[in-house]
A and B are shown apart, each in its own frame.
Chain A
Amino acid sequence: MNLTTRFSRLLAGALVAGAVLAPASIADAQVGPDDITDDTCEPTLEDCSPDPCSEVVEMPLQAVADQPQPDPDCPDPCAGEGQDEGVLEPEECQPEPCTNEADCPDPGPDPDPDPDPDPHDPPVVGEPNFTG
């Protein structure tokens, strides 16, 4: 066998071996060992798009969770907004601090802050005839 014939056979063998090994290599490349956080999870090709074993949190939801809680005394300026999308846009929906009294709901009349629990007898009107 001459050199050309031997090279042709090696090339053919390599092509066959590559065809057999190719699926496993593709799978390894799509999942990535660093993304697997659940050891009990054995991904398959069909399970891995999207990755069911990843605990990566969707960033938009996290951004919403990080928003400061609205002042209960103030109306939520974002109430009703972004509901269709299910996710509020942080830059559009920062709860405003209640700095303008006009924006706050009317708390109603103030209760008596210090009602006298022990009112005293009122005087009656009269001209005394005491001994003076």
Chain B
Amino acid sequence: MRAGHRVRLVAAIAAVSVTAACGGMTGADDHVLPRSTTTTATAAAEPAAPEAPTTLVARADHPVDIHPVPGAAAAQTLPATTEFGSPRALLVVQDLGEWLEVALPERPNGSTGWVRRTDVELREVDEAIDIDLAARTLTLREAGEIVLTTPVAVGTTEAPTPTGAFYVVDKLTTGDPAGPYGLFALGLSAHSNVLTDFAGGDGQVGIHGTNDPTSIGQAVSHGCIRVPNEVSQTLNDLVDLGTPVTIT
């Protein structure tokens, strides 16, 4: 993908609003967050090729004011980093020019707010992760093309993995490949709808390796998505903060 990505001519970033359901900071337990996608223009003389979906991510290395509606006073300020120290990355779901609607990594799942465009740096992400709870599979795409599909472990019926549109907010290396999370873990904007605290955390859902490879393919977790350890390394290598994760 790298080479193809390199040669594309990004003539313009045309943020396309898929839906506009926000009247303020909102949230829903079973939500579908739209993603602000960009279209990639190729040279005019070339035949039209299928558009590769990309996602806009708002990045900041400083605290970010979150506004309930464009132009209103800030309702909260997100720290410059997550609790684990990852740089702040917010998935853009709507682009109004001066104002950007972003998905918030907090309860309830599906919460959104608004940031000033001048407060953040916009980046494009062309990776995307899809998790199929029924099939118990994870698929990684890059520029719309499947990079890998792997069986995964998902939450039990008592602590199910939440469904909806989320994104990667943390990339962690645990330093302990034999630990319960394996060597690499991705923290998501998703939170368990059942567990409000877990192991000292607030029930944040992640994608991570495991020290129990026999659990892969089963519904045995507390809501996280367990992947084979080698897959967790690949995800760490290829996935950026802000990468959208759709769980169905």
Using a CB–CB cutoff of 8 Å, the interface residues on chain A facing chain B are 116-118, 120-132
In the assembly, what is the distance between CA of A131 and CA of B241, in Å?
19
In the assembly, what is the distance between CA of A61 and CA of B174, in Å?
75
B79 to chain A, nearest CB (A): 14
Give A127's nearest chain B residue, CB to CB. Answer: B174
In the assembly, what is the distance between CA of A53 and CA of B102, in Å?
88
Judge whether A122 and B171 touch: CB under 8 Å.
yes
Chain B window 179-205, contacts with chain A (Cβ cutoff 8 Å), 1 for yes, 0 for no: 011001101000010010011110111
A121 to chain B, nearest CB (A): 5
With A120-B238, A123-B172 known as contacts, the answer to whether A129 contacts B204 (CB < 8 A) is yes
With A117-B2, A131-B155, A131-B203 known as contacts, the answer to whether A126 contacts B172 (CB < 8 A) is yes
A77 to chain B, nearest CB (A): 41
A-B contact pairs, 21 of them (CB 8 A): A117-B6, A118-B5, A121-B86, A124-B172, A124-B173, A125-B175, A126-B172, A127-B174, A128-B172, A128-B185, A129-B199, A129-B200, A130-B198, A130-B201, A130-B208, A131-B201, A131-B206, A131-B221, A131-B222, A132-B223, A132-B224
Q: B residues within 8 A CB of A129? A: 198-201, 204
A104 to chain B, nearest CB (A): 31
